[in-house]
Amino acid sequence: MLTLSCRSCHTASLSELIDFGPQPVAHNFLAHGTDPDPLVHPLRLHRCEFCGLIQIVDPINPELLYKDYNYCFSTWKPQPHALEEADLVAASASPAGSVLEIGCNDGFFLDLLRERGVGHVEGIEPNPLAAAAAEAKGLSVTRGMLSEACEALSQNGRMGIFDVVVARQVLEHIVDLDDFFDAVQALLKPDGRLFVDIPDFEGALQRGDCSSIWEEHVSYFTRDILLGILARHGFAPETERQYNFSGGTLAILAKRTSTSQIPQQTVSRMEALAYPDKVTAYGKALRERLAALREAGFRTFLYGAGCRSCTVINALKLGPLLDAVVDDQPEKQGRFMPGSKLPILALESGEARDEPAAFLLGVNMENEGIVSNKIRTYWSAPLRMASICSPNNIMAELDKLTP
């Protein structure tokens, strides 16, 4: 599936930014520590010298990633910003309006819109378990990838009828941006609006944070790059919001337009090219801190078995310096992390809590306080804790890992 041109502007001006080598798929947890990883794929980013979009040019087939992925449902993770986003979308749709969500997952956001009085809500979802969960809430869901779903909707005369199309944490997964925006244009009424919510990669670039990178995210957006993509496809921002969610999130409600001006990039080429060295420096410093802690008698753990943790462990080669990964989801406990083969435990699993321990917090910023308090409540021995995820200053966080 190797692409030699930019998926946004289609120029053949791609240059390699960083190569993490062969990496496992983050959600392919293993039943046994001796099991081989079922799929290993090169994880490398290229940057378009023309439009600035950072992207994976050889993505994994989406069919392999999403149709049997049962470890990430919307209601499993706190989304404090979702209420404000739902207010914004509901106000744009009006009580008599209709909203379609692409990648509706278990119907969490559609349910919020329904609670706010939106007249008609429905979704598109490729994962059968997530779709079933949404349907169990009484929501209408068209199952399948976007192209399949649009074909089904077209056959039922349901194209061009929506006031708002929503795509929350979806656009970064889309391999063919042209097909996505063609579908959105076909789904919307002539005066309809598009609401997108995406991870903002600018902070990770500045800090040398690789936790925002994983195989499902094939495009990495900054504000100006996203605005440029919207403009190319006939949309102009009407409302913008930024949130400290999942490393930094940018949300935009956009209206159709025929005269959008593509903004100039604010992330410079030099800033992007400095990213690999920052990642290398951070990884070296983190390994040194973990080694010193273990030498001083500390147990070392990473809290959170999500995709961000998987990339940090494997890309920065932390596996030999960690005892285990701790996670609150029973579905993951008792399994093993892909790549590193580290065991996934519950915090209350019987680990010796009277021994000094250091925890790397591989959770989103909005969960760090909850997790930190839980660890302090359970662990009786001396503790060290530090965040490994943006939007925190991850290099400054290393100061918390002194023996």
Both 252 and 342 in a single domain? no
CA distances from 173 to 110, 213, 315, 366 (A): 20, 12, 20, 23
Going by pLDDT thresholds of 50, 70 and 90, the confidence category of residue 185 is very high
Of the candidates 308, 317, 368, 310, which has an alpha carbon nearest to the alpha carbon of residue 336?
310
User: What is the per-residue pLDDT across 203-237, written as a single tens digit (0 to 9) for each?
Assistant: 899 899 999 999 999 999 999 899 999 999 999 99
Tens of pLDDT, residue by residue over 1-25, are: 566 799 999 999 899 999 999 999 9
What was the pLDDT predicted at 133?
Answer: 92
Do residues 371 and 398 make contact, with C-beta atoms less than 8 angstroms apart?
A: no
d(CA 100, CA 118): 11
Q: In CATH, what number is assigned to the domain containing residue 336?
A: 3.40.50.720
* DSSP 8-class letter at 176: -
Residue where a domain terminates, one of 224, 244, 270: 270
* Average pLDDT in the chain: 90
Q: Which residues contact 258 (CB under 8 A, 6 or more apart)?
A: 234
Helix or strand holding residue 294 (H, E): helix 275-295
Q: Strand runs (DSSP E) across 203-350, as ranges? A: 219-220, 235-243, 249-256, 299-303, 324-326, 344-345
Give the separation between CA 396 and CA 387, rounded to whole angstroms: 10
**Residues 293 and 329 reside in one and the same domain:** yes
> Do 254 and 338 reside in the same domain of the chain?
no
Residue 80 lies in a domain: yes
Confidence class for position 331, pLDDT limits 50, 70, 90: confident
Shared domain for 266 and 292, answered yes or no, is: no
Q: What does the pLDDT look like over 45-56, one tens digit per residue?
A: 999 988 899 999
Provide the whole-model pTM.
0.91
Specify the pLDDT at position 246.
75
355-384 residue pLDDT tens: 999 999 998 877 888 999 999 999 989 999
Q: Tell me: do 176 and 221 sit in the same domain.
A: yes
Local confidence band at 390 (pLDDT 50, 70, 90 cut-offs): confident
Question: Which domain-ending residue is among 270, 304, 323?
Answer: 270
Give the model confidence (pLDDT) of 95-137 as tens digits: 889 999 999 999 999 999 999 999 999 999 988 888 999 999 9
Q: How confident is the model at residue 263 (pLDDT cuts 50, 70, 90)?
A: low
Q: pLDDT over 90 for what percent of the chain?
A: 69
Provide the pLDDT for residue 2. 62
Q: How far does CA 121 lie from the centroid of its chain? A: 24
Alpha carbon 93 to its chain centroid, in Å, reads 26
Please tell me whether residues 325 and 243 are part of one structural domain.
Answer: no
Give the pLDDT mean for 70-79: 60
Show the beta-strand stretches assigned E in 77-220. Answer: 98-102, 120-125, 140-143, 162-168, 188-199, 219-220
Domain that holds residue 345: 288-401
Residues with Cβ within 8 Å of 327's Cβ and at least 6 positions away in sequence, in order, are: 303, 304, 305, 306, 333, 344, 345, 346
Report pLDDT for 262.
62
Same structural domain, 307 and 259: no
> What whole-number distance in Å separates Cα of residue 118 and Cα of residue 112?
9
The Cα–Cα gap between 288 and 381 comes to 22
**53 SS3 class:** coil
CATH of the domain at 240: 3.40.50.150
The pLDDT of residue 217? 94
Determine the average pLDDT of the residues in 226-254.
91
Q: Into how many domains does the chain fold?
A: 2
